[in-house]
Structure 1
Amino acid sequence: MNGFRHLEEVHGAGYLNQGFASAKLADGLALLAEGEGAHYPMLTFALGGLYDAFPQAREDIGFFGLPGENAADHGATVWTGGGVYVPKSTKGEKLELAKEFLDFVASPEGCAAQTKAYEPTGPYFVAACELPEDVPRAVRDLQDYVEAGNTTPALEFLSPIKGPALEQICVEVGSGITSAEKGARLYDQDVEKQAQQLGLP
């Protein structure tokens, strides 16, 4: 409920830019890069396009977790790292080779290979891996949250149920179309439907 209330508060306080309802991602990124916008909620992996269009944004734009009830005690919601899987049907020599590859991926050498192939857009989840010193400011900022232990996985990594209409409900509440209370009711109905579809009690 509080999350929906906070979205309602943002709209009610007039913090949103003019034309927010029709603005696209590129519009929001341009507002940030040109100093016309103050905040755009996103994950750091989405910053590559920003840096391509606005190279100065690498150091001009940082990252911070959205404050909760207590602004002095807050963290960041993060997505977990990408997974690498081996089918159960893999046997013998192929299984051994797959295990060797998994060991490589989750090693400092594997992280170095990834870093060489593309610039990291977030911290590595392998404890022995370190980010290069020249990563963008937003990535360094997020790394500070990780090192301080102030991160929590996003809902979809904690629960088998995340209502598929959550994004639309958040847009409606944050746009002033729907109240926080109605948004919470709609979300409860949304997750109940999904639980039924998944055969969960």
Structure 2
Amino acid sequence: MMKKIEFLNSLKSRLKAFNESEVKSIMDFYDELIEEKKENGLTEEDAIASFGDMNHIVNKVSADLVLTRSNNQTSNPAKNFLIILGICASPILIPIGIALSAVVFSLVVVVFSLLISFLVSGIAILVALIPMVISMIMSGTEASIIVMAVGMSLVACAILSYLAILTIQGGKVALQTIIKFFSKKIKNKSEVNKNENN
């Protein structure tokens, strides 16, 4: 049977991926919970045993923290992704980790491909603009038509730039949505496994 100090130290050592304030709030929460259960007549050891397996506690706490972070727009999605993959190292959660990795990799490839295509299209428009203007001047085309052609080309480049910005923003939103979805799946699976063990 584990004592409160051993339990809290073990929990703290398993939550090294999180910042100090998050770990402190978790430690305070479990400290208060143990004290509450002791006031209700349980011994310290029984109160700790009622929480279940330490792996389930860590998985649940980690999933909760990632959900909290993903609700906070200022959090770092890449760090959340690494934390979720760490949670998925549990043998039961490996399939979720593989699926998450595949989805995130696919999303990154799609966003990168779109950005490259916008960049190449913009460069092609600008490169084609120079010989087009030269040939129009050499053939004696009116200046207004030349200015219109240059303006249309620049508008096309601006549209491509705007699409690139939208793609980046959409990729960020999609990544946050995926992280929230998989965090909920991990949390639910951890709770199901905890219930099966009890």
Is TM more than 0.5 here?
no
TM-score, normalization by structure 2 = 0.21
Question: Which protein has the larger Cα radius of gyration, Structure 1 or Structure 2?
Answer: 2
